[in-house]
Structure 1
Amino acid sequence: MGNNAGLYALTEEHEAIREAVREIAEREIAPFAAEVDAESRYPVEAQKALTAAGFHATHVPEAYGGEGADAIATCIVIEEVARVDVSASLIPAVNKLGSVPVILSASEDLKQRVLPSIAAGDAMISYGLSEREAGSDAAAMRTRARLEGDSWVLNGTKAWITNASVSEWFTVMAVTDPEKGANGISAFVVHRDDPGFAVGPKEKKMGIKGSPTCELYFTDCTIPADRIVGEPGTGFKTALRTLDFTRPTIGAQAVGVAQGALDAAIAYTKDRRQFGSAVSDFQGVQFMLADMDMRIQAARHLVYVAAAAGEQGRPDVTRVSAAAKAFASDTAMQVTTDAVQLFGGAGYTQDFPVERMMRDAKITQIYEGTNQVQRMVIARSLLR
C-alpha cells in the first residue's frame, strides 16, 4: 500500500474546474435534460457547451493538444455534468474510455493520428469490448482479426457500444490467435469510414436515453496494419488496465447523479407542506436525507482516491477502482430511489427529475463491469 495510500489533495484548480463545469451544466445542459430523455435524443447542446469550454476530453495529454488534466479533475467534470444529466456526462467519460487504450499502449504514430482530433473536439472515440455472448466474460469474444499483407481484416459484432453513432474513432478488441484465449486478443483503432464497418440501430433503454447505444458490425472490415494498439496478443491486458483508469469515472457519474437527486430532495421536502409543517421537519425524512448525504460523501472520497491511485501507480489500483465503482453506483441507486420516495407521488411522475435520475443511475451498477464482477475483483485482490 505504501505510506501515501489513499492520499489525494483537492487543489484550488480542482475547485475552479468544479465551479466552471457546474455553471455550464446548470445553464447549458440542465434545461435540455428532460427533453433529451423524453425524446431519446443526443444532447447536442451539452456537446457544444462542453467542447467550447474544453471539458469534453480533459484527460488527453498536452503533447496531443489536450488539457492534460489529472484524473481527479476529469472525475469532477464528469460528476458535475452527471449531476444534471447522466447522458451528457458520457461525452467526457466515453472519450476517456475509448482513448485510454491508445494513450497506454499505442505507437507514437497512432497516438498522433487519433488523439489530437479528440482533444480538439473534432471527433469522439468509443470503446468496443462487449459482445452479446461476451459481457462479463469478455475474453469469450468471437470478433476476429487476421493479418492480410499490410492490412488487418476484422469480422464480427460488438454490442452495447456507448455513443457509437456519434463517434468517429473506435477502439476495438478482437481475437488474433484463437488458441491463446485471453492472450490471443488484440486491440485496434477503427475509423467510422473504414470499409466493411457499420453502426447498428439504437437500443431502446431504461435510462441514459440521450446517449446512443448501438452494435458495431465488421464485415471484412479492412484497416491499415499500423492501426493495431500495441503488440498482437496484448489487447486484453490493455483492456483490463484501461478499466483501472476508467472505473473511477463511472463512480464519478454515480456520485453526480446521487448529488443531483439529494439536492432536489432537499429543495422539495423544504418546500412541500403536510400536517401543517414542511416535510423536511419530520425526523424520519431528516434521517433519510442524512443517510443519503453520508453515503455520497463516502463515495465521492473513494472515487477521488481511486482516480489518484491510477496516477500514483499504486499496486492496489485495481482493488480501489473496483471498490469506488461498486460503492458509488450502489450509493447512486439507493439515493435516487430514496429521492423518488421523498417526492412521494410526484416523484413517480416526469414533472420532476428524480424518476429520470433513478432510471439513469441503474446503468452505473452494470456497465464497465457489473457490481458482482467488481466484488469478485476485490475479493481476488484480498485473497491473493
Structure 2
Amino acid sequence: EQQISVYLNKMKMVPYAIGVRNAYSAISVGTEKTTVSKKQDSSLIKRLLNKENVKKGYAMVREKGLKHTLQIVKKTSTPILVPLGYSTAGRVIVVGKNVTNFTPGDMVACAGGGYATHAEIVEIPKNLACKIPKGVELKEATFATLGAIALQGIRRTNATLGETVVVTGLGILGQFTCQMLSAAGMRVIGIDLLDERLKIAKANGADLVLNPEKSDIEKEVAKFTADVGADAVIICAGTASTEPVHQGMRISRKKGRIIIVGAVGMELDRSLMYQKELDFFISTSYGPGRYDLKYEKDGIDYPIGYVRWTENRNMKAFLELIASKKIEIKDLIQHEFSIEEAPEAYATIREKTPLGIVFKYEADPSKFKTIKRKTVLVTEKAPKDHLKTAIIGAGSFAKGKHIPNLLKVPSFVNPPIIL
C-alpha cells in the first residue's frame, strides 16, 4: 500500500480527493443491466444517425465507392468503454493535500459515476465519501449511494407523519424507500409485479403490498385510504412505459405529489394532473450537489444553514439508519461475487432480477496478483528502398485516413499498429 500511495501522489492526485482501496462495490442492477445489455453496434447506430457523419459518408461513397466506405465504417466503429459502478466501500490509503476530514485507515463509503467504480483502488473527491459509523459492516455501507438516491426521493415528497405514500417498483431503491418511509412513521403501500419482492417489502415494514396483475390497484388504495387517495407516490420503477406515472396520478388524492426516481416513460396525460392539481417532481440522484463540479470535484460544500441535505449528508443519514437498526440491508444482498467473477455477475443480472449484488475485493494486499507488462520489439528486415513505420494509437481518424493512405504508398512496408 505504501507503493500505491507513492504512485497516487506521483500521479498528482486531486488535492480535495482521497485514495481508497475498495473492499466491496455494489452493482446498480437497473443502471448496469441497461448498460451491459446494449448491442455492440450501438456506437455505429449513433454515428449513422448523426447528420454530419451522413454527409461525410455520402461524400466518401462518391469518392471511394460503397464497399470501401462500409469497410472504413466497420473499422472505425469501436464501442466506447465506460467504467461501471458508482457505490463502493473500503479503506482510505492516501489523502490529498487539502483534505482534513479523512486520514489513512478510515473506513469509508464512496459515491460517484466515474469515481466509485468497480475497481481495487479508486480516487474519490472528499464530498463523495463519508466515514462509516460503528455498527455498520463494509458490505452494508457499500449501498450508501443507492440509499442516498432513495432518501432524496423521499425528501422530495415533503411527507409528514401519518401520510400514505405509495412506492411503485420494489427493486433495491424501492425496498430502501419503503423501509425508510416506514421508519419515519408513514403508511406505506408497495407495488411490484414480482411476488418475491412484495414479500420482502412486507416483511420489512410495508403496510400493504400489491401486484397489479393480481389486484385492482385503484380499488385497493382507495380502500386503504378511506377513499382519500395517496398523499404521495414515489416511482422507483424502470420502464419505457408511462403507465406507472398515470397509475400514480389515478391513485393520488387531490393536490397529491408524484415523485420520479426511476427512469420511466414521460408521455404525461395533462387531464389527470389538471383535475387533481397534482404536483410533479423529479428526484435527481443522491441529492443537492449532484452534477455540480464545484461541489463534487473541487470539494466546495453547501452551507448547512441553506442546504440541509446534500448528497454527502444523505449518504451519512442512510448509514446512520443502518447503524441504529432502523433499516435492514443484509436480507436484500442476494449475491456476492469476486471481481474475477464479473462475467458471471453480469450474466446473473441479464437473466434474472436480483436485488442487491456486490463485488468483493481481496482484502489481504499480499494476495494481490502482480501484473507484469512488457513491450516486445519484433524486428524485420525491410528492402533498402522501403520505409517501415509504427503507429501508436489507432483511433477512428488513423484507421479511416492515415493507414489506408500509407498502404497506398509503394515505398512503405505495411505498418504494424500498436494500440
- Which of structures 1 and 2 has the bigger CA Rg? 2
TM over 0.5: no
TM range (shorter): under 0.3
Q: TM-score, with normalisation over the residues of structure 1? A: 0.23
